[in-house]
Structure 1
Amino acid sequence: MAAEPAYGDVRPTGIDLLAERLADYLTPDQVNLVRRAYYYAEQAHDGQRRRSGEPYVTHPLAVANILADMHMDHQSLMAAMLHDVIEDTGIAKEALAGQFGETVAELVDGVSKLTQMKFETKAEAQAENFQKMTMAMSKDIRVILVKLADRLHNMRTLDAMPPDKSRRIAKETLEIYAPIANRLGMHDFYVEFEDLGFRAMHPMRAERIQRAVKTARGNRREILGKIQESLANCLARDGLDGEVVGREKHLHSIYQKMRGKRKSFNEIMDVYGFRIIVDKVDTCYRVLGAVHNLYKPFPGRFKDYIAIPKANGYQSLHTTLFGMHGVPIEIQIRTREMEEMANNGIAAHGLYKAGGDEPRASHLRARQWVKGILELQQRAGNSLEFIENVKIDLFPDEVYVFTPKGRIMELPKGSTAVDFAYAVHTDVGNSCIACRINRRLAPLSQPLGSGETVEIVTAPGARPNPAWLNFVVTGKARTNIRHALKQQRRSESISLGERLLNKALSGFGTQLSKISPMRILSVLGEYKGVVLEDLLEEIGLGNRMAYVVARRLVSGSEQEEPLEPQASTTPQGPLAIRGTEGLVISYAKCCTPIPGDPIVGHLSAGKGMVIHLENCRNIAEFRHNSEKCIVLNWAKDVTGEFSVELRVQLEHQRGLIAMLANNVTAADANVEKIGMNERDGRVSVVQLVVSVRDRVHLARVIKKLRTLKGVAGITRVRS
């Protein structure tokens, strides 16, 4: 075979060295299966070369080596060897399944789908591909572990790529793959992704920081050695067995802190980091006491991630001390098991395995996260909304709050009580009306802090408020609020559409309930088979004209001679507005109609009905168009509060705003907005937006305002 000499060096060294390493933790049969997968991949990629000029098979071998460092199982290693076979060689998934089993074929297929992700394309395509990744992860989380190893080797060999392509791959890595590695607790992957991505995106900045770090470490070697020695001596005096190691800050972390926290390089490097690795949890707390006796701790800088682990399973004690000469020292104390978990996350100790005895807490967290992403996907209106929410969910920081029963909830930084309510259960979020933080009533929009106890007050029949979308942080809350509002809007649109259609049909002397089902089905067929509810929703949203649909229902087709309304029948009176129609009816801000005003409804496509005053100038051109405007009146039992703008002219005097607000409140109304323009030295003009129930209530408010001394005139502002 012509390519044999090119592979001559790879076969005896690469796969044999890997097989020796795998023999430490896999059975001989499993090692042979990995070997077989390698030879299959070598043959499939025969003649293919990487951009660097090496035989292509060196790449899958390198990916398998990365997974071997984490002691991944033989099926993951086989999938690593074969991960490009389906995409690059034309070999079908079925052929792989026949050779290596269904599980390995599924893993390879999942990784192949992720390889097709093209993040430089349109946002819609990016989002669709991200959904494929979610589906692949949900079936077997090892898919993402193989993909992360594949991406890591590609990032290590990025220099062979053209600059524009390497920047695109680096951007994709920093935005998607690094946060996923962090979310799965794989710190080693996360740090290397960030540093390699940073070097590719900003080579000059990375080089300058690298040089500065090298110089700083050389200058600080002596003080580092002294601190390390004093910590080791402190442990020895107390008879504690622990290993003290210096902790290096990685380049991207330094750069982010310099940018985000506006700190100089020297300020960041003046903090010394150490990690103390011990044998068991009990020793962690004893070491903490010892180091607190050695150096004074910074108040408020102690964090116990052992008792309350981070969302990605990370566990450690964090404390900051005043060291020699007041130098800040950051210390992390953890067990060896926690150290491996911190570095390898979900890949540590085979936590990724679907079977096994008892699933570990970290494994459950990772699966819970993937399950949460799947829920977002099902609820999201479209793929763009989905990816927006997932990116929010790949958060680096968390707050930990408690339910009234003491259960710990992990939420992103900046989360509110509404985010908490949806994290507890979707129904709790949908019916939330108020909250208590540490047993005190608090605004729903108040950001939560770690350690707070949050209690949600619910009410049957309550609905999500559209204003919540302005302050919620989590993807789950945002997606569920939008979903509930869409459902609410649909039901309200159907109800309004039915009322509008019945009003139009009354002109022809009939009602929807009197029209035969066969006739309705016939007309629905003309609308490409939509169901009746969809048609009523379209009418309610203003996308179809009720009169046109009524004429079709009565005559059967728009092409037939149009029927005129029957003169002998008495049509229904104007449509009554009750004030409880919800999202599908809105009140025009130009003329602010209130109960008692003569009104008309303007049907606006996609928005439903907008209510205007009868003489509003903004609808003058539609006023006599029966298809776009409909005569309305107010129901006798109309409810709700309506905004009205008043212009008050009065003599300028001390405490003017307070007097106006007091008089409005005395008339049982609320001030929504207030503003003042001074017309001259003596007379002020105040713009006042108040909420009232109807015209009678407004008259009472105006009457109360007229009792104020110096009021020259009050005018209601209209368009």
Structure 2
Amino acid sequence: MIDIDDLIALVRNYNPGCDEALLHRAYDYAQGMHQGQKRHSGEPYFTHPVAVAAILTEMRLDDATIATALLHDTIEDTKSTYPEIARLFGDEIAELVDGVTKLTNLQLSSSEAKQAENFRKLLIAMSRDLRVILVKLADRLHNMRTIKSMRPEKQAQKARETMDIYAPLAGRMGMQWMREELEDLAFRVLNPEGRSSIIRRFITLQRETGDVVHKITADIRAELEKNGIQADVYGRAKKPYSVWRKMREKELSFSRLSDIYGFRVICDAEADCYRILGVIHQRWRSVPGRFKDYISQPKSNGYRSLHTTVSGRDGKRVEVQIRTREMHEVAEAGVAAHWAYRDGERVVNRFAVDPAKWITTLTDRFDNGEDHDEFLEHVKLEMYSDQVFCFTPKGDVVQLPRGATPLDFAYAIHTRIGDSCVSAKVDGLRVPLWTRLKNGQSVEIITAEGQRPQATWIDIVVTGRAKAAIRRSLREEDRERFIRLGRELARVAFEHVGRKATDKALGTAARQLGLRSRDELLARLGSAEITARRVIETLYPELSSVEGEEVDVHRPVVGLPPDQSFQRANCCQPVPGERIVGITYRGKGIVAHTIDCPVLAEFEDQPDRWIDLRWHDGRHPAAHTVSIDLTISNDAGVLGRICTLIGEQRANISDLKFMDRKPDYYRLIIEVDLRDVEHLHTVMTALEAESDVAQLSRYRDPGRKP
């Protein structure tokens, strides 16, 4: 644990005139209050607030924030009170400690109305004093660094909360380094094998190609020296989570992924940024569509930089960021740049922008909002998206996520304006409602009485506010008429395929389509938002043939050594389409498990037995057996109908075992031969819609050995 003298030394490094007496008092008081308390790891609890304070010294923050970090858990976890903190340390620190305490008590991962209200409190706290959020982010960062001592289910909850809320919040406030570390720490908990796989592939790539980062960094430095430009060049491989997210978004394998390396050039003057860009583009071929100028059009959090992607050494794509030292300070510190000290003086950085304006605008806009889904969706869009700024005809600024349309603009002004919008003018010219707005454009909305939102508008708008308003309007208008019409459409469609539109079948279809109830499904059917064909295909999809050669059933995976045999694990029964990992067994070759199979925990300490596998692309034969646990009514003909239903989905029953027989029901395990995970989903959806099926699940037995 850092003692008080070391902590003060860290503060004095950037603020020689710090209030040492205040820090001493805060340290001693908090240590006394937490006396005897332990963390999950068994360490004294006081090690945590001290570590949080040390993290904040890296951001060069003021004395009040450092003292708040030391005291931030005293009101919540000890007998200390707000009046006592105010008496001993002053109102400013007491307010900050109280703000952190209130944020700690928020259940940000709870649902619906409660989550919306807690988001409001979070944003309001940010608008009052951003240092509260800085302490809370540092608190979360240290908790994530030490999360292994918590129970597994608690780790998962905290990691999801970090990934959904705290990491994007740090990024939105310009603290990219903290966002990346929070994401990586959460990724380590939520998908340890995915992270390990990325790291292993980086190691393999480095072994095959050498130190690419060092080589490309040297190439850039050489080009700059040749042109007489003084600048620092840094390079690194991107974080595992960043690579993983890019693989998922672009649906690419690691080997096909480009620009997994990032390079940064830091210079002295803004003019040098553009000179450096020219040198890089002259030396290497730029990738079309991958250049962004955040110097002439900064992000709303003050971020400024030039971004370009070029084909570097050996044709590898690399991303290069070019910025001045002042810009780099803001890029690294984000909002913390407002509170930073250097040599005892507050740092004045002309590029620093106060994101509190964004937070205040957001809280004002939704202060009276009644739609919780609208509020949450908009908050998350605001956290993740870049922004565009457009003007009303009167010159008022409207801030929207990048990619927003005139319809988003209309709903941002008022729901009534959006509902009655018929067209728009951008910079005086009439444009379609799906036009993507750009920074600085003037937008005029044209309305008409009697106009109502169209179902197609959902696909045009991007903001949560607009989507929620359109959905609400479409649902409310003639809802009962749409439900009656939808029921008739469903009846006809089901009869056409020899089925009945029972309440259970419609309820199953509603769940599969992500709708709240059967009536909502019928209303959307009647309003043409969903087609009857889509409902039928959801429950009883026609299995279309897949072009291409059939995958060899004996070697259906990629990654097998030539001399190794392969089999599926009996415990989890993986099928094509599911993420898998191979484990080597003596005398059995390689056995494939699903990535979430609990049996894998037995091999955590044996990394040499893990093999990176994936299923072959293409059409797999229906030869992969899966066990389905089924409870059905004990009536004449029910079992025959179930077997017929499975056969209609072109699946073969290879075995059937009765587990329990009662006067009113049977429980049985059916072994079904399937092609892939989509085939499994089709079979289970069809069974779930059947009236005589009481319970249904995939049967997995960790005790069944490979």
TM-score interval, normalised by the smaller of the two chains:
0.5 to 0.7
Please give the alpha-carbon distance, in whole angstroms, between the structure 1 residues aligned to 2:191 and 2:24: 39
1:37 match: 26
CA distance 1:361–1:226, change in 2 (3 Å): closer
> SS state of the match for residue 434, structure 1?
strand
Please give the alpha-carbon distance, in whole angstroms, between the structure 2 residues aligned to 1:481 and 1:359: 43
Please give the alpha-carbon distance, in whole angstroms, between the structure 2 residues aligned to 1:285 and 1:408: 30
1:149 match: 138
Contact 1:231 1:291 in 2 (8 A): yes
Which of residues 312, 321, 326 in structure 2 aligns to 1:337?
326
> SS state of the match for residue 313, structure 1?
coil
Please give the alpha-carbon distance, in whole angstroms, between the structure 1 residues aligned to 2:468 and 2:73: 35
1:167 Cα deviation from its structure 2 partner? 0.5
1:215 Cα deviation from its structure 2 partner? 2.8
2:620 match: none
CA distance 1:439–1:263, change in 2 (3 Å): farther
When structure 1 is superposed on structure 2, of 310-319 and 144-153 the one drifting more is: 310-319
Please give the alpha-carbon distance, in whole angstroms, between the structure 1 residues aligned to 2:133 and 2:429: 44
1:307 match: 296
Superposed, which structure 2 residues align to 1:4-403 within 5 Å?
Answer: 10=1, 13-26=2-15, 28=17, 30-119=19-108, 121-268=110-257, 271-350=260-339, 362-364=352-354, 366-398=355-387
- Structure 2: gaps (5+ residues): 486-526, 528-706
Please give the alpha-carbon distance, in whole angstroms, between the structure 1 residues aligned to 2:368 and 2:471: 9
Please give the alpha-carbon distance, in whole angstroms, between the structure 2 residues aligned to 1:313 and 1:396: 14
Contact 2:62 2:340 in 1 (8 A): no
Structure label with greater radius of gyration: 1
2:424 match: 435
CA distance 1:216–1:470, change in 2 (3 Å): closer
CA deviation digits over 1:97-125, x for unaligned, max 9?
A: 11111111111111111111234545433
Contact 1:389 1:479 in 2 (8 A): no
Please give the alpha-carbon distance, in whole angstroms, between the structure 2 residues aligned to 1:120 and 1:400: 31
Whether 2:455 is the aligned partner of 1:455: answer no
- Structure 1: gaps (5+ residues): 1-9, 490-582, 593-642, 644-719
* Number of residue-to-residue matches in the alignment: 482
CA distance 1:182–1:271, change in 2 (3 Å): closer
CA distance 1:426–1:143, change in 2 (3 Å): farther
CA distance 1:369–1:217, change in 2 (3 Å): farther
CA distance 1:475–1:168, change in 2 (3 Å): same
Matched to 2:353, the amino acid is H
1:386 Cα deviation from its structure 2 partner? 2.5
Matched to 2:178, the amino acid is F
Please give the alpha-carbon distance, in whole angstroms, between the structure 2 residues aligned to 1:87 and 1:310: 37
- Once superposed, what is the RMSD of the aligned Cα atoms? 3.5
CA deviation digits over 1:175-228, x for unaligned, max 9?
A: 010111111011011000100000011112211212222332343334443332
CA distance 1:296–1:403, change in 2 (3 Å): farther
Matched to 1:229, the amino acid is A
CA distance 1:452–1:111, change in 2 (3 Å): closer
1:264 Cα deviation from its structure 2 partner? 1.2
Please give the alpha-carbon distance, in whole angstroms, between the structure 1 residues aligned to 2:43 and 2:414: 53
Matched to 1:232, the amino acid is R
**What is the TM-score of this pair, normalised by structure 1?**
0.61
CA deviation digits over 1:213-253, x for unaligned, max 9?
A: 23323433344433322211111121111111113201111
Contact 1:235 1:290 in 2 (8 A): yes
When structure 1 is superposed on structure 2, of 185-194 and 462-471 the one drifting more is: 462-471
1:424 Cα deviation from its structure 2 partner? 6.7
Please give the alpha-carbon distance, in whole angstroms, between the structure 1 residues aligned to 2:47 and 2:131: 21
1:439 Cα deviation from its structure 2 partner? 5.7
CA deviation digits over 1:389-411, x for unaligned, max 9?
A: 31232224456768789999763
Please give the alpha-carbon distance, in whole angstroms, between the structure 2 residues aligned to 1:456 and 1:224: 49
CA deviation digits over 1:524-578, x for unaligned, max 9?
A: xxxxxxxxxxxxxxxxxxxxxxxxxxxxxxxxxxxxxxxxxxxxxxxxxxxxxxx
Contact 2:375 2:465 in 1 (8 A): no
Contact 2:393 2:444 in 1 (8 A): no
CA distance 1:373–1:356, change in 2 (3 Å): farther
1:506 match: none
Which has the higher relative contact order, 1 or 2, with Cα contacts under 8 A spaced 6 or more apart?
Answer: 2
Please give the alpha-carbon distance, in whole angstroms, between the structure 1 residues aligned to 2:452 and 2:347: 42
> SS state of the match for residue 138, structure 1?
helix
Please give the alpha-carbon distance, in whole angstroms, between the structure 1 residues aligned to 2:297 and 2:464: 23
Matched to 2:87, the amino acid is G
CA deviation digits over 1:39-58, x for unaligned, max 9?
A: 11001111101111111111
1:637 match: none
Please give the alpha-carbon distance, in whole angstroms, between the structure 1 residues aligned to 2:63 and 2:362: 28
Please give the alpha-carbon distance, in whole angstroms, between the structure 2 residues aligned to 1:435 and 1:127: 32
Matched to 2:243, the amino acid is I
